[in-house]
Structure 1
Amino acid sequence: MKTLAISTLTICGIEELPGNSAREVTHVLSVLDPDRAEIEAFGAYGTHERVTLRFHDIIDPAPDRIMPAPGHVAEILGFGEGLRASAVGRKAGHLLVHCHMGISRSTAAMLTLMAQADPHEGEDALFARLREIRPQAWPNSVMIGFADEQLGRHGRLTEALGRHYAHQIAAQPKFRTWMNDLGRKRELEMAV
């Protein structure tokens, strides 16, 4: 994300937030469940800009649950535009993106920001960079689909997501059981 003058990228879950408080985080994108209380850990952080989005980590509609929607991804892209606009005069920065566990919504959000910042970088390269940042990344497929459309990637992000899932299953077979138990068989079927 050099185009945004962000030198450090971090993805984590809520339990990891206290351990990042001394890392000079300048920007935070929080993706939380709608009924989740505010995160107290940010009180120990220095001055930073923070945007919070609230929706559930699901890929199919469910009663009393809020699906990721195109508007949520548009807000992520708006956050990215804000990073770009504020880059003037900023020599460095530390972007932290988190969700509940730092595996699905946050990794989808970070991949979206990376694809926005580097529109000419290949999709497989973007996912490889994502794995370097967060080895356990399993991006929410609904969010990636909306990002693919809004960024004009013409299905290439979604196709690369399937290859990423296949990589993750080969590297960490527990994902097959875990995603099956979470009702995310459709994502497992995307793995090619």
Structure 2
Amino acid sequence: MSRIHVCSLARIGSTVAQTGASHLVTLINQGTPVERPASIPEERHLFLAMNDILEPMEGMTPPGEEHVTTLLDFVEGWKPEKPMVIHCFAGISRSTAAAFITVCALRPERDEAEIAALIRAGSASATPNLRLVRLADDALGRRGRMVRAIESIGRGRDAFEGHPFSLTLDR
């Protein structure tokens, strides 16, 4: 069964080691040091530099269409025989949005609300970045269903670091 594991920056090494992941997605502020585990080749590591913001702010990089397009291209090239790990700084917002987007992109027949509910069940603190979700909803032609699904689970509990969790591609 194909899995996408979500974690924080602090848990990359242990999550990759425990899961045997073949691919890694990093969504983090530009300039944040990220040590790629040796088991993940450079070409299987996607680094998306962005701040965790919902609206443009001076001196910060908001999630943009180019980030979503790059993510979609990367996950389309993933052969899900082995897991993928997606992380951001805390494992709460950017990474949970990217995991949601990945499942929606690779399994267009799956119900967005079901996927969002699985995210909430996996992590009480998950608060997917709605800007990323909106951009992906448009790119994938989901007509607002992705946005409504994430809005329906609401903001997660406050936390410094999210609880690691995983999603399956298949039901």
TM-score (norm 2): 0.83
Deviation at 1:72, TM superposition (A): 0.6
Structure 2 counterpart of 1:187: none
Deviation at 1:79, TM superposition (A): 1.1
Structure 1 counterpart of 2:26: 30
* Larger RCO (CA under 8 A, 6+ residues apart): 2
1:11, 1:134 within 8 Å by CA — same for their partners in 2? no
Q: Which runs of 5+ in 1 are unaligned?
A: 179-192
Q: What percent of counterpart residues are identical?
A: 26
Q: 96-105 vs 117-126, which deviates more? A: 117-126
Whole-Å Cα distance in 1 between the matches of residues 122 and 96 of structure 2? Answer: 9
Q: Which stretches of structure 1, 4 residues or more, deviate above 6 A after TM superposition?
A: none
Q: Which runs of 5+ in 2 are unaligned?
A: 161-171
Structure 2 counterpart of 1:151: 140
TM-score (norm 1): 0.75
| Aligned counterparts, 1:80-119, within 5 A | 80-83=75-78, 86=79, 92-119=81-108
Structure 2 counterpart of 1:160: 149
1:9, 1:133 within 8 Å by CA — same for their partners in 2? no
Identify the structure with the greater helix proportion.
Answer: 1
1:8, 1:93 within 8 Å by CA — same for their partners in 2? yes
Deviation at 1:135, TM superposition (A): 3.8
* Larger Rg belongs to: 1
Whole-Å Cα distance in 1 between the matches of residues 124 and 66 of structure 2? Answer: 27
